[in-house]
Amino acid sequence: MRIGINCRAFTKKHYTGIGRYAFNLVKSLGEIDRANQYELYVRKNFFDMNRRVPGPPAANFTVRADYFRRGPEKVLKSLDVFHSPSPDDITVERAQLVVTIHDLIHRTFPEGHTPETIQTVEGQIQSAVRRAARIICCSQSTIDDLERFYDVDAEKVRLIYQGVDKKCFYPFPDDQLETGRQRIRQHGVQEPFILFVGTLEPRKNLKNLLKAFAQLKNKRAFPGQLVVIGMRGWKMEQLEDSLRETGVRDDCVFLGYLNDEDLACFYNCARFFILPSFYEGFGFPIVEAMSCGTAVITSNVSSCAEIAEEAALTVDPSDPEAIAAAMMQLLEDEVLRRNLGNKALKRAQMFSFRNTAEETLEVYQSAASEL
């Protein structure tokens, strides 16, 4: 087969969930598949220093850079399959189209997008449902949403979980743990701390997390800080309002985007990890924290509970009292915290990018067989 993959999502220096997924998929395909030919489509302006052209992971991969915005139809050679890791660029007509749909946030949590974004995403999803030979979803939750909101042929939808880079996210041995603590101190953080990782936007529910954290502080139940790692999103004024209203600004540390090496240090050294998101299509930080053996609190909605199963405490994200109670439970019960960490490690084993790549290759083969 000749397979094209749109690599737009990981050409930026800093990328979030979709970029992480696409990068690791291409890397893992390079490790398992020498039989097929791959063309990696990259759209980049000559003088755009904010984007980079990825290197091919193996000899059967060729990078096709589109410097003049001609589109994949003009840049790529004759293909059997073209995979768009998100539904935003599906302009190829001469190949079987495979699209990954990560979430339906614009439908399930519309306040998480601007009206203009909702309109754009809706058009992209409708086009993907209509044109794609195969649709990959990263959680059963997303499949359920897709079938609820769209007239989609269930026969062409596939569930493929994403993975975690276990070469980076793993439980540190004692000597490495001390090095991790040193790196954390370089960021101005002292133990103990509670960790949150995610883009700073309303969907991630920092507002209710801050309310819950304030309850701990008011009861003098936790002497440490809440560490927040993630890029700035939109509606940041709401976050500023919450910090002012809860009075915990001095007890919160906002570190912005960190590389994976630093991120793994924070996962390993955190008292526990918390992501009380209103909606996730998959939830990379949950799996990364679990892969480090860190106890997790997450939401009982969307894919969060599906991914965590019994390896985490799950709470109603709309209830700050419930979030605070779960946090208190983990702070007070060291045995529970340790047991959840062990369960998390076991649960994380099922999330492998090698499995993601193998199952995705099967989807390519299935789509190509209909040519």
Q: Name which of 75, 93, 96 is nearest 1 in CA terms.
A: 96
- Sorting pLDDT into bands at 50, 70 and 90, what band is 359? very high
User: In the predicted model, is pLDDT for residue 70 greater than 80?
Assistant: yes
- Sorting pLDDT into bands at 50, 70 and 90, what band is 235? low
Do residues 107 and 149 both lie within one domain? yes
Q: pLDDT tens-digit profile of 111-135?
A: 877 889 899 999 999 999 999 999 9
What is the number of domains present in the chain?
A: 2
In a domain, 217, yes or no: yes
Percent of residues, the chain, with pLDDT higher than 90: 80
Do residues 361 and 274 both lie within one domain? no
Do residues 298 and 357 both lie within one domain? no
In a domain, 124, yes or no: yes
In a domain, 356, yes or no: yes
- Sorting pLDDT into bands at 50, 70 and 90, what band is 88? confident
- Residues with Cβ within 8 Å of 338's Cβ and at least 6 positions away in sequence, in order, are 295
> What local confidence, expressed as pLDDT, does residue 227 receive?
98
- How far is 51 from 332, CA to CA, in rounded Å? 46
Do residues 328 and 195 both lie within one domain? yes
User: In the predicted model, is pLDDT for residue 371 greater than 90?
Assistant: no
In a domain, 168, yes or no: no
Range with the largest mean pLDDT of 106-115, 197-206, 348-357: 348-357
- How far is 263 from 285, CA to CA, in rounded Å? 10
- How far is 220 from 214, CA to CA, in rounded Å? 10
In a domain, 234, yes or no: yes
Do residues 139 and 213 both lie within one domain? no
Q: pLDDT tens-digit profile of 236-271?
A: 677 888 889 999 999 999 999 999 999 999 999 999
Q: Which token pair is 23?
A: 């990068």
Give the CATH number of the domain where residue 151 resides: 3.40.50.2000
Q: DSSP readout, 118-175?
A: HHHHHHHHHHHHHH-SEEEESSHHHHHHHHHHS---GGGEEE------TTTSSPPPHH
Do residues 180 and 114 both lie within one domain? no
Look up the pTM and report it: 0.94
Do residues 245 and 359 both lie within one domain? no
Do residues 315 and 343 both lie within one domain? yes
In a domain, 169, yes or no: no
- Sorting pLDDT into bands at 50, 70 and 90, what band is 47? low
The secondary structure element, H or E, covering residue 234 is: none
Do residues 109 and 183 both lie within one domain? no
Contact indicator for 348, 290 with CB cutoff of 8 Å:
yes
Range with the largest mean pLDDT of 17-21, 178-182, 236-240, 242-246: 178-182
In a domain, 253, yes or no: yes
The per-residue pLDDT of the chain, averaged, comes to: 93
Do residues 198 and 53 both lie within one domain? no
In a domain, 86, yes or no: yes
One-letter amino acid for residue 26 of the chain = V
Do residues 360 and 344 both lie within one domain? no
> What local confidence, expressed as pLDDT, does residue 234 receive?
67
Burial class of residue 212, CB neighbours in 10 A (0-12, 13-18, 19+): buried
Do residues 158 and 206 both lie within one domain? no
Secondary structure letter of residue 259 according to DSSP: -
Range of the domain at 200: 174-348
> What local confidence, expressed as pLDDT, does residue 219 receive?
94
